[in-house]
Structure 1
Amino acid sequence: MSATTQGRKAKVPHQLGLHAVGREATGRDRRPAVEHWLLAAADDVTRARREWQEYGVTLLRCGRSFDAVRVPRLLVEAAAGTADRARLGRYIRAALLGGPAFLDAAEYDLYCLVPPATSTEWRVPGTECLGKDAHLSVPHLGVAGAPRSSWLSEPVDADAVCVRPAVAQLVVFGRFRARTQGGG
């Protein structure tokens, strides 16, 4: 199905290359494939699995499977127009085109998983891109809700990461909304 504009065919997001990037796993294979992809970033896979089971989070090294862009939660909430977690999750999944992102319970920031090496070229003010040799506390799949770190948009496939322009657009829109609503 395609969208039309005044009788002309308009390109839909996937035709423009605007979709989460990665290999697609199917059905029952999806969750183990995504876990395997995330655990490829662990220094010690056994310890990472144990920490996920015991604490719901584990430290993973950026720069291997992914880099991570840290976006201040206030910008995310301004962009979404809400602090309600369920509505925030729906907004983030749409804004990031299904790309993986989670809220960190300690810092209250959003972390968007992006392609490895993004940190070498990321220049979006008000954010930080964690790359090679940085460690990130990543929640286990299925962990939801406060008070712990949890996914707003879980990885849907192995290697699926956020599209960098979608993350940048989220930040720019959040700054715009914060300024126009008197919050920044």
Structure 2
Amino acid sequence: MIEDWFADAQRAPEQARREWADTGVALLPLGTRFVAVRLAEALVHAAVDTTQPQELAACLTRLLDGPVIFDGRTMGGTYYALMRPRIGSPWKHQAIAPRLGAGTYLGVPRLDRRKPPGTYWIVPPRFEGDLCAPRAVESLIVHAVSTGQETEQ
């Protein structure tokens, strides 16, 4: 079960299940099971050239081929692309799209949270271990930067 896979990121998976039941979002540690790349809303909009939620979700599904969380409560909107941890592999985009790992926690929504308000899946995971490929996330960032609009919105 997908939810179990995420809950097992915690030492006490039952805590994640309680948080999902109580608030709809569980605070999970990054770095072991998965990491997250924090993508500013303006950067994502520049990369996909749309702000329409359905079009945006379709573009991210096609481009990243993995799960993406949206948190509209922070910094004007933030996307988190979930990826496999890559130990010893440098992340070239830390200044514009930080890769968050060990020592960081991420609010991960319950699987049925797929629309606002709050934190929700813009692209939900399809199976256990479903994560974005680092190259796909890098390509999205590079494309956004090449448009020159990632900080204008």
Name the TM-score, length of structure 2 as normaliser.
0.89
SS in 1 for 2:42: helix
Specify whether residues 88 and 119 from structure 1 end up closer, same or farther in structure 2 by C-alpha distance, changes over 3 A only. Answer: farther
The aligned length equals 150
Which structure ranks higher in relative contact order (CA pairs < 8 Å, sequence separation ≥ 6)? 2
What is the match of residue 139 of structure 1?
109
8 Å contact from structure 2 (residues 114, 124) kept in 1: no
What is the match of residue 20 of structure 2?
52
What is the match of residue 152 of structure 2?
183
Which of 50, 58, 65 pairs up with 1:90? Answer: 58
8 Å contact from structure 1 (residues 41, 65) kept in 2: yes
1:94-113 → structure 2 map (5 Å cutoff): 94-97=62-65, 99-107=66-74, 108-113=77-82
Aligned-residue offset at 1:34: 1.1
Q: Does 1:116 align with 2:80?
A: no
| Amino acid in structure 2 at the alignment position of 1:106 | R
What is the match of residue 36 of structure 2?
68
Distance 2:87 2:39 in 1: 15
Aligned-residue offset at 1:47: 2.1
What is the match of residue 16 of structure 1?
none
Distance 1:119 1:151 in 2: 29
Q: Does 1:151 align with 2:118?
A: no
Rg comparison, structure with higher value: 1
Distance 1:181 1:129 in 2: 17
Distance 2:7 2:90 in 1: 25
8 Å contact from structure 2 (residues 71, 78) kept in 1: yes
Specify whether residues 137 and 119 from structure 1 end up closer, same or farther in structure 2 by C-alpha distance, changes over 3 A only. Answer: farther
Specify whether residues 119 and 128 from structure 1 end up closer, same or farther in structure 2 by C-alpha distance, changes over 3 A only. Answer: farther
What is the match of residue 6 of structure 1?
none
Aligned-residue offset at 1:62: 0.3
8 Å contact from structure 1 (residues 100, 153) kept in 2: yes
Name the TM-score, length of structure 1 as normaliser.
0.75
8 Å contact from structure 1 (residues 68, 130) kept in 2: yes
Percentage of identical aligned residues: 30
8 Å contact from structure 1 (residues 42, 61) kept in 2: yes
Unmatched segments (≥5 aa) in structure 1: 1-32
